[in-house]
Amino acid sequence: MPGRADRFRVTSLEPAYLALHRDGRLEGRARQARLQLESCRLCPRECGAHRLDGAVGTCGIGSACVVTSAFPHMGEEDCLRGRSGSGTIFFAGCSLRCAFCQNADVSWQAAGPELEATDLAATLLSLQERGCHNLNLVTPTHVVPQLIEAVAIAAGGGLRLPIVYNSGGYDRAETLALLDGVVDVYMPDFKFWHAETAARYADAPDYPDVARRALVEMHRQVGPLRFSSDGLARRGVLVRHLVLPGHADESGAILEWLARELSPDTYVNVMAQYHPAGRVGEPSGGGRLYAEIDRLPHAAEIEAVFEAGREAGLWRFDQRRGRG
């Protein structure tokens, strides 16, 4: 008898954006998205920067995206990396300011070459040529127009890989609507449940509300995560949640919400690899900044989060629980 996991197999391996490309709507979507750079409201900061005129937004990025690295990533979830790696592109700049950011050198510094759409399209195609299973776009919220334009160009050049939108979860639903029919797999974080926690650690008290709206929109577009016969993710939502020390109660609330408001079938990676990074532990007034999270999470905290998820009805967890 087929198991319940068998319900989550795709019947078509064609990436979503090819349908838009064939009838010309992808190019039109790119033009529509680019208008957002005139007075930028792409991310929830809504800074209004005139990025087409050379100004940079709160994210620190102007009209061209800045790429810090692009390579086949073997450290992602099994369903993304497969045998040949996930074609991962790290974009400089970020709308969040997470105190514990483990990629602060990328997120807080615009280090790397500026790529126009044609150059970014060439990067996408090169990752396909290297045998990657998908295109994993990391921290893409502030460069959505540039991404859509690059995908439109690359689709005309033979691009056939599914697109993974790998974000911190701080995404405007209105911006995500521009990606409807473009993105195949959404992989957002859901970091914080309480506004006070989000304010302290990311300077974003609106994060919980924004993330909830964003995940609902992502789920509306692509539904629960589905796989091809070889076990690779092809369409749907994969939620990441990093367990912060001392905040297992918030983690439990997040998982309960996912089960109730999205679906008990939501695929979740409960990540145990938190370690003090970013500004955590820096000296401050005779003490340490963010001293309450200047430690690793205990094994009991991690297990409590998994148990909370199971009690909420979730059953599709990434199985890796180790740190690293």
The model's pTM is: 0.96
**Reported confidence tier of residue 1, pLDDT bands at 50, 70, 90:** very low
Region label for 281, one of left (φ > 0), alpha (ψ between -120 and 50) or beta (otherwise): left
* Length in residues, the chain: 324
Domains of the chain, residue spans: 12-275+287-317
pLDDT for 324 equals 33
| 12-275+287-317 CATH | 3.20.20.70
Using only C-alpha atoms, the chain has a radius of gyration, in whole angstroms, of 19
Asked if residues 212 and 198 have their Cβ atoms less than 8 Å apart, the reply is: no
186 three-state secondary structure:
strand
Q: Give me the mean pLDDT over the 249-261 stretch.
A: 98
User: Taking 50 as the threshold, does the pLDDT of residue 246 lie above it?
Assistant: yes
The contacts of residue 322 (CB under 8 Å, 6+ apart) are 272, 273
The contacts of residue 179 (CB under 8 Å, 6+ apart) are 144, 148, 165, 221
User: Taking 90 as the threshold, does the pLDDT of residue 102 lie above it?
Assistant: no
Nearest CA to 259 among 315, 303, 305? Answer: 315
Positive or negative CA dihedral for 191, 217, 142, 149?
A: positive
pLDDT for 125 equals 98
